[in-house]
């Protein structure tokens, strides 16, 4: 049986993704994203449009010193302007100056856009495409041609849309990318038009947007119809509703369709790469993303949990470790002791459902939920609760007291609050103070300042998100609140919870859990390194064939 051709992936996080609302990359950010994508093994990184802004031009100058292991950088730009020779066109000159091995060149393929937007004749547009590709090829660049609005253009005038592809092909473009620029096509149309585009006799690609929620579906459909090149953004963010989520596309291609796209073993770094890129973009990760989100392998119902513990394939379509993710059992009133058993066995491997420690943990969980705690979204706090029930929890520090003050109006908004903490650490009294842009920020800084001398790894920890919810059934300013704090380091993100009628106390409880969890996690990692058992919990590889139906 002939092996299906490999699918080339092009990531446009630094170009199309940067057009998403709230996204802005510095030059340093862009280099960090390039390194993350290169480590993952993405074939082509579309790193920006050097003719559009000084930052992208500066990036390409800086990027000349990069030594990439797997990826190739590409500059992005448009065909020449009307009534301009290629050698006199500033846009094309900027693409050559970027000095990348590949140029992604876009041109119009919809008659409506040619006439109404460009304001040129159909013949002139074909010449603009052919002249531009030929000019870049004569300068030694590989060229990928993005046929903008191809699916709308093909629906309006199939012959002209195909003529645009032929113009690029004849001038030397190596791949013709069919762009669903408005994101409005259905998979049936993508499949039909991609098959019909094969008449040009050149490799085809797909560039799908997600305006109809079909970016991934249209990308996979195009591959089934013959495309061998897929463009998207690793975490799916981009202009309007975003681009095809390349992390989902890559996992589907390799695990479901048997199509190589990242190389052996690369998928195991997928979840980490998505988190890294999202963090650099200063966005909150979408935890509901397929494969890589924290909820992708989260189980809550007791019967589901019990089934997964017996055989993960019962409720998981692939093993979490295959994509660098992990299984999570959510503790709640509907989870039962099956959830606690799974978590408890990480602490006490021989625990049984009727063990005193498990009974004690179940009672503690019920009591805390009665007070307003909720642990299904705060697993770090849950682990600490379980360690207390198991008798294995030893606090890293003890609070003697804390105090916060604020001032309004403040001359400096970043220092409008002050905090003092007094702790006992390893038998010593430690006092620290800090100022911040709010009392919780100031408390966090003061606590870190007091502890980092004892625990240096805390220097790499930061608060990633802070949420407050007023609990139902409580009244006005006397309300009980639940505080959730997301914290992160270079490897992980974790969530802790605190509940109180005093918002500062609730915040302090969540802060303490966050620090304690970080220190516990570091201790466990160090123990695994010393024993050579860093992957003790990773049993997913042996489930891969069974869960994927192989």
pLDDT at 1 over 50: no
Element (H, E) at 463: strand 462-470
pLDDT in tens, 373-404: 877 668 889 888 888 888 888 899 999 999 99
pLDDT at 73 over 70: yes
174 and 306 share one domain: no
304 catalytic? Reply is yes
Q: Is 284 among the domain residues?
A: no
Region of poorest pLDDT, from 60-64, 140-144, 476-480:
476-480
Supply angle C-alpha 222, 241, 279, rounded to 5. 100
pLDDT in tens, 404-458: 998 777 677 777 889 999 999 988 999 999 998 889 999 999 999 999 999 999 9
Q: At what angle do helices 336-347 and 302-310 cross, to 10 degrees?
A: 50
pLDDT, position 348: 77
Distance between alpha carbon 385 and the CA centroid of its chain, in Å?
29
- What confidence tier does 298 reach under pLDDT thresholds 50, 70, 90? confident
Q: Is 178 among the domain residues?
A: yes
Looking at the chain, the whole-number percentage of residues with pLDDT higher than 90 is 56
- Burial of residue 255 (CB within 10 Å: 0-12, 13-18, 19+) is buried
Residues 194-205, mean pLDDT to the nearest whole number: 97
201 and 339 share one domain: no
Q: Is 514 among the domain residues?
A: no
The larger pLDDT score, comparing residue 337 to residue 229, is at 229
pLDDT, position 549: 35
What is the distance between the alpha carbons of residues 325 and 104, in angstroms, rounded to a whole number? 33
- What confidence tier does 110 reach under pLDDT thresholds 50, 70, 90? very high
pLDDT in tens, 346-367: 777 777 777 788 888 888 888 8
Among 390, 420, 441, residue at a domain's last position: 390
pLDDT at 550 over 90: no
- What confidence tier does 542 reach under pLDDT thresholds 50, 70, 90? very low
Residues 71-88, mean pLDDT to the nearest whole number: 93
121 and 250 share one domain: yes
Q: Is 536 among the domain residues?
A: no
Looking at the chain, the whole-number percentage of residues with pLDDT higher than 70 is 90
Among 338, 356, 390, residue at a domain's last position: 390
- What confidence tier does 83 reach under pLDDT thresholds 50, 70, 90? confident
53 and 196 share one domain: yes
Question: CATH number, domain at 417?
Answer: 3.30.160.740
- What confidence tier does 302 reach under pLDDT thresholds 50, 70, 90? low
pLDDT at 333 over 70: no
pLDDT in tens, 244-274: 999 999 999 999 999 999 978 899 999 999 9
pLDDT, position 540: 39
Residues 115-124, mean pLDDT to the nearest whole number: 94
Q: Is 216 among the domain residues?
A: yes
382 and 412 share one domain: no
364 and 240 share one domain: no
Residues 283-294, mean pLDDT to the nearest whole number: 88
39 and 64 share one domain: yes
Question: CATH number, domain at 75?
Answer: 3.20.20.70
Q: Is 234 among the domain residues?
A: yes
187 and 311 share one domain: no
The mean of the pLDDT values for the chain is 87
pLDDT, position 548: 36
Provide the phi-psi class of 242: left if phi over 0, else alpha when psi is between -120 and 50, else beta.
left
Q: Which of 304, 317, 408, 441 is catalytic?
A: 304
Give the closest residue to 100 by CA, choosing from 28, 47, 52: 47
pLDDT in tens, 4-13: 899 999 999 9
pLDDT, position 537: 42
251 and 302 share one domain: no
Q: What is the CA radius of gyration of the chain?
A: 27
The larger pLDDT score, comparing residue 434 to residue 332, is at 434
222 and 344 share one domain: no
Burial 213-228 (b: 16+ CB within 10 A, else e): ebbbbbbbbbbebebb
358 and 373 share one domain: yes
Q: Is 78 among the domain residues?
A: yes
pLDDT at 335 over 70: no
pLDDT in tens, 467-492: 888 886 555 555 788 899 989 887 78
pLDDT, position 2: 62
Q: Could you tell me which residues come within 8 angstroms of residue 155 by beta carbon, excluding any fewer than 6 positions away?
A: 189, 193
Q: State which residues form the domain around 343.
A: 298-390
Tally the domains of the chain: 3
Total Cβ atoms within 10 A of residue 374 = 20
pLDDT, position 477: 53
342 and 317 share one domain: yes
pLDDT at 311 over 60: yes
Q: Which residue has the tokens 């802790």?
A: 496
pTM over the 0.85 mark: no
């Amino acid at each position: 049986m002939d092996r299906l051709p490999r699918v080339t992936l092009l990531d446009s996080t630094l170009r199309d993704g940067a057009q998403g609302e709230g996204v802005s990359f510095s030059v340093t950010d862009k280099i960090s994203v390039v390194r993350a994508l290169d480590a993952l093994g993405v074939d082509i990184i579309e790193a920006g449009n050097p003719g559009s802004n000084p930052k992208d031009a500066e990036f390409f100058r800086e990027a000349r010193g990069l030594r990439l292991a797997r990826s190739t950088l590409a500059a992005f730009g448009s065909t020449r302007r009307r009534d301009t020779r290629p050698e006199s066109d500033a846009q094309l000159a900027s693409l050559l100056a970027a000095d990348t091995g590949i140029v992604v060149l876009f041109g119009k393929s919809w008659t409506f856009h040619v006439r109404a937007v460009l304001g040129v004749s159909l013949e002139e547009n074909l010449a603009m495409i052919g002249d531009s590709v030929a000019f870049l090829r004569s300068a030694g660049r590989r060229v990928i041609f993005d046929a903008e609005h191809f699916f709308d253009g093909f629906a309006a005038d199939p012959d002209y849309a195909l003529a645009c592809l032929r113009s690029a092909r004849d001038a030397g473009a190596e791949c013709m990318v069919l762009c669903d620029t408005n994101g409005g096509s259905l998979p049936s149309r993508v499949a039909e038009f991609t098959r019909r585009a094969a008449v040009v006799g050149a490799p085809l690609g797909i560039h799908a947007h997600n305006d109809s929620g079909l970016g991934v579906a249209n990308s996979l459909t195009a591959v089934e119809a013959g495309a061998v090149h897929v463009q998207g953004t690793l975490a799916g963010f981009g202009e309007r509703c975003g681009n095809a989520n390349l992390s989902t596309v890559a996992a589907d291609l390799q695990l479901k369709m048997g199509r190589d796209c990242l190389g052996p073993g690369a998928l195991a770094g997928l979840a980490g790469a998505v988190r890294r890129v999202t963090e650099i973009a200063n966005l909150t990760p979408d935890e509901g993303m397929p494969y890589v989100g924290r909820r992708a392998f989260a189980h809550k119902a007791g019967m589901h949990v019990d089934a997964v513990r017996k055989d993960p394939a019962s409720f998981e379509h692939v093993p979490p470790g295959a994509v660098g993710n992990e299984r999570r059992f959510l503790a709640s009133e509907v989870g039962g002791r099956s959830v606690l058993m799974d978590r408890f066995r990480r602490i006490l491997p021989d625990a049984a459902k009727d063990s005193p420690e498990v009974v004690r943990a179940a009672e503690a969980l019920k009591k805390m939920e009665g007070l307003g705690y909720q642990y299904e979204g705060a697993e770090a706090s849950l682990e600490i609760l379980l360690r207390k029930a198991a008798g294995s929890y030893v606090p890293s520090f003890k609070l003697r007291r804390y105090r916060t003050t604020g001032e309004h109006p403040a001359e400096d908004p970043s220092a409008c609050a002050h905090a003092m903490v007094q702790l006992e650490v390893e038998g010593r009294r430690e006092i620290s103070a800090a100022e911040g842009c709010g009392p919780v920020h100031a408390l966090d800084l003061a606590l870190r300042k007091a502890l980092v001398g004892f625990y240096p790894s805390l220097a790499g920890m930061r608060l990633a998100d802070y949420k407050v919810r007023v609990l139902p059934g409580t009244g006005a300013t006397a309300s009980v609140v639940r505080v959730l704090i997301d914290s992160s380091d270079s490897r992980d993100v974790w969530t802790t919870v605190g509940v109180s009628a005093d918002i500062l106390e609730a915040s302090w409880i969540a802060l303490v859990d966050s620090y304690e969890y970080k220190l516990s996690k570091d201790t466990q990692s160090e123990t695994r390194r010393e024993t050579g058992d860093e992957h003790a919990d990773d049993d997913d590889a042996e489930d891969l064939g069974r869960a994927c139906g192989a």
